[in-house]
């Protein structure tokens, strides 16, 4: 009891000195530096890549879909559009051969993502799932397919990072399509103007 009383007496006599501003600032800075030094956990990655049939991708995809299972889009669309254009995507999605493959791919990918999530967690790694989409030129069907997969809501909270890339759809190809599209529109406008002129001339002759 005597020892406890002595300790209690000493504690009572202690005068608590608040930290100085310099000490507080230093403590906050140390805490900030500690947080910055700890790397943030990387999100798992879903990579979706389109490419042509000639050069195999590297690294090899975990899942690969051959979009040549469906016929090419109409020649008119192929001249002026790529798989990035909504009108070309709509034409392809109107075909069951294409839309069914998109649905099947979504199911396949979800299953593989679940498996990779567990495997990576056990191994202490970052999960990555690679999906390949191929077609003839790598400009139309495979691009549209990859874009449709990229539009899927894979996670509710954005746990996975989704990356969509098109290996063979270069800026030069897109520029060429844009120029062809503009020329096509100019021709259409000229045809409309000719029809209007002929229509006006015909009406004047009847009068």
Identify whether 123 is part of a domain: yes
- Residue 8: its pLDDT value, please? 47
61 vs 135: CA distance, rounded Å: 15
As for how many domains the chain has, the answer is 1
149 vs 83: CA distance, rounded Å: 12
- Residue 14: its pLDDT value, please? 47
Residue 56 CB neighbour total at 10 angstroms: 11
Per-block mean pLDDT, blocks of 10 residues, the chain (207 long): 51 56 68 56 92 94 98 91 95 97 98 96 95 96 98 90 95 75 62 59 57
Interior CA angle at 63 toward 97 and 136, to 5°? Answer: 55
Identify whether 26 is part of a domain: no
Identify whether 80 is part of a domain: yes
- Secondary structure letter of residue 46 according to DSSP: E
Domain carrying residue 125: 45-182
- Residue 54: its pLDDT value, please? 95
Identify whether 12 is part of a domain: no
Residue 130 CB neighbour total at 10 angstroms: 18
Identify whether 84 is part of a domain: yes
4 vs 12: CA distance, rounded Å: 12
Identify whether 19 is part of a domain: no
38 vs 151: CA distance, rounded Å: 33
Identify whether 73 is part of a domain: yes
């Amino acid at each position: 009891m005597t020892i406890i009383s002595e300790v209690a007496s000493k504690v009572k006599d202690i005068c608590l000195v608040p930290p100085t501003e310099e000490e507080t600032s230093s403590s906050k800075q140390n805490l900030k530096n500690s947080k910055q030094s700890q790397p943030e956990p990387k999100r798992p990655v879903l990579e979706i890549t389109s490419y042509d049939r000639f050069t195999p991708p590297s690294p090899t995809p975990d899942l690969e879909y051959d979009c040549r299972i469906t016929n090419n889009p109409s020649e008119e669309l192929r001249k002026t559009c790529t798989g990035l254009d909504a009108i070309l995507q709509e034409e392809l999605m109107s075909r069951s051969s294409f839309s069914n493959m998109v649905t099947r791919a979504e199911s396949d990918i979800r299953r593989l993502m679940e498996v990779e999530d567990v495997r990576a967690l056990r191994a202490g790694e970052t999960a990555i799932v690679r999906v390949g989409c191929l077609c003839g030129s790598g400009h139309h069907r495979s691009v549209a397919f990859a874009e449709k997969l990229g539009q899927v809501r894979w996670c509710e909270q954005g746990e996975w990072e989704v990356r969509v890339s098109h290996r063979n759809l270069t800026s030069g190809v897109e520029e060429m399509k844009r120029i062809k599209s503009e020329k096509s529109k100019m021709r259409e406008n000229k045809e409309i103007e000719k029809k209007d002129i002929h229509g006006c001339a015909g009406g004047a002759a009847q009068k």
